[in-house]
């Protein structure tokens, strides 16, 4: 049933919103049309989070089917609520049901017999969220309706669902719902309402990338959600709702297209297909055509960073739906090829006008289909999540192998057959001699030594694991494995745990299949990135332990606090500090803010037996420095060495800096990630928009400008990926406070002002595609991974070079100031990034990092990677009195690549220190 306008009355509104329930509606619970300014589902109306939150509290005070839980604060300080919905009898024993869910999910020490008993006693736990991507407004508005239905309906189906399930209705992005809804409703004329002109990202820092943060848990909201999913409630089904749907259809519903990740248990995929098809079947049965699966959209199950996909690595069924619609009426388009049904699109839909309530009706059906599946399969779901956890524990306790595309290619080559479903059969003995060689075994665990240089970053890595429910152990005393001794305080991550798939995915390289559009065709674009191994990105030193081992460890109970550092030595001349820790930049920023002097010792220094490499940090003694260092080393977990004399050799004296972080109207996600990083590391910055750059005299306000990936526009088809180029509103269409954010960086107006800034002694840090600035400003470099066609510089074709988000290893010159503290090799995140060739007659340019091999791939997928050999990835360029630092790889990728943060931090401090001299 659909609705074309405002509801005529409360009773009629409830019937239209919820359909025939087959039973009475509870009269003492406020319906949505009485709680909001207009009925939910009305055209041109969106409720905001303030009203939504008030309604949740009203419902919690009226219903015995709901418990309202505060799961944490958002980045803007709002409360993130979760409504726990079930029968009154179940709510009375929530602690017991939660404990059953935990025991079965973790599986540790639970026998098959006990699992069967627990499964019989427990209730299926289903997570259904809303609002993650705030401009996808249907999910939040629909949650209001489904909540009311579950709290009021008395029909047999609803009562059965409540008896057999605990449903966790959560909101992922309260800040975004408030922003988007209020922006949409700001205009009195409904026909002028829109949210395409939002001035900023709908999550404080990262916008849409809040659904790429699941394994990192950098954002507060992600941490709150992960705690409920993998440390509190352990749901068997996680339903993450999105829009918009495919053109000419209504909604994408699982199953997904290949490839799936090779680390997780296959049972999670077969169950996912069951739930997805149950959703399709209910839609079709209720005469709701237009759903599609698999080939209907590009969604796969490879990447670990999304709410529904991180679920697979935790043995839970992760669902994603993408539906059309919104508060402004639209249409279902007519696409001829979609009018023929097939297995992926069983019921085509005719073109028609589409309204918000139409989408909410579909959303209601899909919610009920998921809960109904969980109720009908309650015991099986509970037992199977134990089964998958038990499988993981067994695999982590014995020799096991993960078969990947590279190993299959090796097998085919060994047998002179062809990989794939149509390949020739080969000698079966090769299965063991090729696929199951001893050295190819999966690790029994990983040891992270406590004596590595950057332990605060190690702690950040471990906390990312812990926030996603991984068990981490810490050694109480020194121990030895395979002849190597590890100090007390080292960390151990065993793979004999339920979340083994997630552990492997964070430590081991992703081996993405060579996926083609058709045999012999070009690469088929992945859904998001292909390689993201977090241990590599963060520069963590660890050992893979292939055999069974013992270690004197105890379980880390919660997120880890960095162990306090100390001031060592008794000298009075000043302090030496290692450049190898990211936290040293926080300390440096504090020292400069306090007016203390800070220098980098170019050739390094020594303090007793401690050898500091190039760029050792030297802080001459002063009262201001002493106060900052004594407090800072404790807070940050780094050591300072008090020495009796200034180190010999040349130094670079640092200065207080003024950073301009470039952003654009509507918000750039890379810029947002950088903003979050700058706040974490206490860097002094302001956000700057194109109008300010165009005004010139930049040096008056800033010493260094940071251009994150994509904020500098680039021509289509060229070697630089085009930046954000969406339509901008007219100034008179938006509030005055946002008008200074409008504008674009242009070659004609902005580049001359940037050139003036640099040549006059300013510094520019350009990342990813924004390194176009280097060539545009006349740096003596050429783009290595490009070609000339018809006199135009063009990107190499996907058949020639295709690296759609992978981790590559690069060579580094650690004596270069940009590379201080980084070592001689580094893993970089590379996503169709530019690389460079320095012109033969170039002057005033230094090569900081480059690819020195024809096989730099560490994790992910790379077609034509050999073409990168000898090309340069990072450059230190003199231009007039200033500096340009060009970083081709995305050195701040989603705030995951801590191993390359140093290059950015060094550039921020180094450029202003030497420019203008």
Q: What is the mean pLDDT of residues 694-711?
A: 97
Q: Residue 746 belongs to what H/E stretch?
A: none
Find, among 535, 562, 568, the residue nearest to 465 by Cα: 535
Superfamily of segment(s) 10-391:
Zn peptidases (3.40.630.10)
pLDDT tens column, 848-863:
999 999 999 999 999 9
Residue 423 pLDDT > 80: no
Find, among 610, 609, 603, the residue nearest to 647 by Cα: 603
Measured CA to CA, the distance from residue 116 to residue 383 in angstroms comes to 6
567-653 is classed in which CATH architecture?
Answer: 2-Layer Sandwich (3.30)
Residue 15 binned pLDDT confidence (cut-offs 50, 70, 90) = very low
Find, among 392, 403, 394, 402, the residue nearest to 502 by Cα: 392
SS (H, E, C) 594-618: CCCCCEEECCCEEECCEEECCCEEE
Find, among 322, 321, 283, 327, the residue nearest to 41 by Cα: 327
Measured from the Cβ of residue 231, the count of other Cβ atoms closer than 10 Å reads 15
Q: Report CA-CA distances (Å) from 705 to 576, 698, 702, 775, 874.
A: 29, 9, 7, 17, 17
Q: Where in the chain is the domain with CATH 3.40.630.10?
A: 10-391
Strands lying side by side in the sheet with 574-577:
567-568, 640-643, 574-577, 616-620, 599-601, 651-653
For residue 359, give the 3-state DSSP assignment: helix
Angle value at C-alpha 181, between 176 and 186, nearest 5 degrees: 130
Angle value at C-alpha 111, between 106 and 117, nearest 5 degrees: 90
Are residues 116 and 100 in contact, defined by beta-carbon separation less than 8 angstroms?
no
pLDDT tens column, 216-247:
999 999 999 999 999 999 999 999 999 999 99
Find, among 147, 145, 180, 140, the residue nearest to 162 by Cα: 147
pLDDT tens column, 331-382:
999 999 999 999 999 999 999 999 999 999 999 999 999 999 999 999 999 9
Beta strands in 630-709 (DSSP E): 640-643, 651-653, 659-662, 685-688, 704-707
pLDDT of 13: 32
Measured CA to CA, the distance from residue 358 to residue 769 in angstroms comes to 41
pLDDT of 792: 87
For residue 328, give the 3-state DSSP assignment: coil
pLDDT tens column, 636-692:
999 999 999 999 999 999 999 999 999 999 999 999 999 999 999 999 999 999 999
pLDDT of 26: 52
Measured from the Cβ of residue 27, the count of other Cβ atoms closer than 10 Å reads 7
Measured CA to CA, the distance from residue 95 to residue 232 in angstroms comes to 10
Q: What is the mean pLDDT of residues 633-638?
A: 97
Measured CA to CA, the distance from residue 436 to residue 748 in angstroms comes to 60
pLDDT tens column, 33-48:
999 999 999 999 999 9
pLDDT of 24: 39
659-914 is classed in which CATH architecture?
Answer: 3-Layer(aba) Sandwich (3.40)
Q: Report CA-CA distances (Å) from 413 to 183, 416, 783.
A: 59, 5, 36
Angle value at C-alpha 446, between 440 and 450, nearest 5 degrees: 145
Q: What is the mean pLDDT of residues 866-889?
A: 98
Are residues 319 and 327 in contact, defined by beta-carbon separation less than 8 angstroms?
no
Measured CA to CA, the distance from residue 799 to residue 797 in angstroms comes to 5
- Residue that the structure tokens 């979609």 belong to: 338
Residue 4 pLDDT > 70: no
Cis peptide before 643 (omega within 30 of 0): no
Q: Where in the chain is the domain with CATH 3.40.50.880?
A: 659-914
Q: Could you say which DSSP state residue 626 is in? A: H
Q: Where in the chain is the domain with CATH 3.30.70?
A: 567-653
Q: What is the mean pLDDT of residues 805-820?
A: 98
Measured CA to CA, the distance from residue 198 to residue 735 in angstroms comes to 11
- Work out the mean pLDDT of the chain and round it to a whole number: 94
Residue 5 binned pLDDT confidence (cut-offs 50, 70, 90) = very low
Pairing of strands 251-252, 291-292: parallel
Measured from the Cβ of residue 418, the count of other Cβ atoms closer than 10 Å reads 12
Residue 12 pLDDT > 70: no
pLDDT tens column, 76-111:
999 999 999 999 999 999 999 999 999 999 999 999
The percentage of the chain sitting over the pLDDT mark of 70, rounded to a whole number, equals: 96
Q: Report CA-CA distances (Å) from 204 to 78, 443, 663, 843, 898.
A: 12, 39, 13, 42, 21
Measured from the Cβ of residue 896, the count of other Cβ atoms closer than 10 Å reads 25
Q: Is 652 exposed, middle or buried (0-12, 13-18, 19+ CB in 10 A)?
A: middle
Measured CA to CA, the distance from residue 296 to residue 308 in angstroms comes to 18
Measured CA to CA, the distance from residue 468 to residue 620 in angstroms comes to 43
Please compute, for residue 783, the number of CA atoms within 13 A of its CA located in the half-sphere on the CB side: 26
Residue 27 binned pLDDT confidence (cut-offs 50, 70, 90) = low
Residue 10 pLDDT > 80: no
pLDDT tens column, 154-199:
999 999 999 999 999 999 999 999 999 999 999 999 999 999 999 9
Q: What is the mean pLDDT of residues 303-308?
A: 97
Residue 19 pLDDT > 70: no
Residue 917 binned pLDDT confidence (cut-offs 50, 70, 90) = low
pLDDT of 416: 77
Q: What is the mean pLDDT of residues 737-752?
A: 96
Residue 724 pLDDT > 70: no
pTM of the complete model: 0.95
Measured CA to CA, the distance from residue 180 to residue 133 in angstroms comes to 10
pLDDT tens column, 582-595:
999 999 999 999 99
């Amino acid at each position: 049933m659909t609705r074309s306008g405002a509801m005529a009355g409360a009773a009629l509104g409830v019937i239209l919103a919820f359909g025939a329930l087959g039973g009475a509606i509870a009269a003492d619970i406020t319906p949505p049309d009485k709680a909001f300014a207009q009925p939910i589902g009305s055209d041109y109306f969106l409720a905001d989070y303030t009203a939504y939150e008030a309604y949740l509290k009203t419902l919690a005070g009226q219903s015995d089917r709901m418990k309202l839980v505060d799961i944490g604060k958002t980045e803007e300080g709002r409360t993130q609520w979760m409504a726990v919905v079930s029968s009154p009898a179940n709510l009375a024993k929530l602690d017991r049901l939660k404990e059953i869910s935990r025991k079965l999910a973790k599986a540790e020490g639970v026998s098959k017999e006990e699992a069967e008993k627990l499964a019989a006693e427990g209730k299926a736990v289903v997570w259904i969220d809303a609002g993650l991507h705030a401009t996808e407004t249907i999910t939040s508005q629909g949650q209001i309706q489904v909540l009311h239905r579950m709290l009021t309906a008395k029909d047999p189906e609803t009562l059965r669902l409540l008896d057999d399930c605990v449903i966790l209705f959560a909101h992922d992005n309260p800040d975004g719902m408030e922003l988007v809804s209020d922006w949409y409703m700001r205009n009195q004329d409904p026909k002028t309402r829109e949210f395409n002109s939002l001035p900023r990202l709908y999550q404080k820092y990262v916008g849409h990338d809040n659904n790429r943060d699941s394994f990192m848990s950098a954002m507060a909201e992600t941490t709150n959600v992960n705690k409920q999913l993998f440390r509190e409630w352990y749901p068997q089904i996680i339903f993450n709702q999105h829009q918009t749907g495919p053109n000419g259809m209504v909604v994408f519903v699982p199953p997904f297209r290949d490839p799936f990740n090779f680390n997780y248990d296959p049972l999670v995929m077969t169950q996912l297909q069951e739930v997805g098809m149950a959703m399709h079947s209910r839609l079709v049965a209720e005469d709701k055509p237009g759903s599609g699966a698999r080939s209907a959209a590009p969604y796969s199950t490879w990447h670990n960073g999304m709410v529904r996909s991180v679920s697979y690595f935790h043995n839970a069924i992760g669902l994603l739906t993408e539906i059309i619609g919104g508060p402004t009426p639209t249409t279902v388009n007519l696409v001829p090829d979609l009018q023929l049904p097939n297995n992926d699109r069983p019921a085509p839909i005719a073109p028609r006008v589409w309204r918000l309530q139409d989408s909410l009706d579909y959303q209601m059906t899909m919610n009920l289909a998921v809960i109904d599946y969980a109720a009908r399969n309650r015991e099986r779901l509970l037992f199977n999540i134990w089964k998958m956890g038990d499988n993981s524990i067994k695999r982590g306790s014995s020799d096991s192998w993960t078969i990947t595309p590279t190993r299959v290619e090796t097998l085919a080559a060994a047998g002179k057959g062809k990989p794939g479903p149509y390949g020739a059969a080969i000698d079966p003995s090769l299965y063991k001699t090729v696929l199951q060689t001893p050295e190819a075994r999966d690790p029994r665990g990983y040891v992270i030594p406590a004596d590595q240089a950057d332990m605060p970053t190690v702690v950040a890595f471990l906390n990312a694991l812990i926030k996603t429910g991984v068990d981490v152990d810490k050694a109480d005393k020194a121990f030895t494995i395979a002849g190597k001794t590890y100090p007390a305080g080292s960390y151990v991550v065993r793979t004999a745990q339920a979340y083994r798939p997630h552990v492997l995915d964070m430590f081991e390289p992703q081996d993405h299949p060579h996926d083609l559009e058709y045999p012999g065709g070009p690469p088929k674009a992945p859904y998001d990135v292909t390689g993201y191994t977090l241990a590599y990105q963060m520069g963590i030193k660890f050992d893979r332990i292939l055999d069974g081992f013992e270690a004197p460890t105890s379980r880390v109970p919660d997120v880890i606090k960095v162990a306090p550092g100390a001031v060592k030595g008794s000298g009075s001349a000043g302090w030496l500090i290692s450049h190898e820790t990211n936290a040293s930049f926080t300390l440096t920023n504090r020292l400069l803010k306090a007016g203390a002097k800070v220098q980098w010792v170019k050739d390094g220094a020594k303090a007793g037996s401690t050898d500091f490499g190039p760029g050792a940090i030297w802080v001459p003694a002063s009262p201001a420095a002493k106060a900052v260092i004594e407090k800072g080393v404790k807070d940050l977990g780094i050591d300072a060495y008090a020495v009796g004399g200034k180190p010999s050799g040349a130094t670079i004296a640092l200065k207080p800096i003024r950073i301009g972080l470039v952003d654009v109207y509507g918000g750039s996600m890379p810029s947002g990630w950088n903003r979050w990083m700058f706040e974490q590391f206490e860097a002094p910055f302001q956000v700057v928009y194109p109008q300010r750059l165009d005004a010139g005299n930049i040096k008056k306000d800033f010493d260094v400008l940071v251009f994150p990936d994509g904020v500098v526009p680039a021509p289509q088809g060229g070697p630089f990926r085009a930046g954000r180029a969406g339509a901008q509103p007219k100034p008179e269409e938006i509030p005055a406070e946002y008008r200074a954010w409008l504008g674009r960086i242009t070659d004609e107006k902005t580049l001359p002002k940037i050139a003036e800034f640099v040549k006059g002694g300013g510094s520019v840090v350009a990342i990813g595609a924004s390194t176009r600035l280097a060539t545009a400003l006349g740096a003596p470099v050429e783009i290595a991974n490009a070609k000339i066609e018809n006199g135009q510089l063009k990107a190499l074709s996907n058949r020639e070079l295709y690296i759609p988000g992978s981790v590559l290893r690069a060579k580094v010159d650690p004596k270069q100031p940009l590379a201080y503290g980084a070592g001689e090799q580094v893993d970089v995140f590379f996503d169709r990034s530019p690389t460079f060739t320095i012109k033969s007659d170039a002057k005033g340019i230094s090569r900081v990092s480059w690819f020195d091999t024809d096989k730099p791939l560490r994790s992910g997928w790379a077609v034509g990677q050999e073409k990168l050999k000898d090309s340069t990835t990072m450059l230190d360029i003199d231009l007039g009195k200033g500096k340009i630092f060009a970083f081709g790889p995305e050195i701040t990728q989603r705030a995951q690549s801590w191993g390359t943060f140093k290059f950015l931090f060094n550039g921020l401090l180094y450029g202003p220190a030497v420019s203008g001299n």
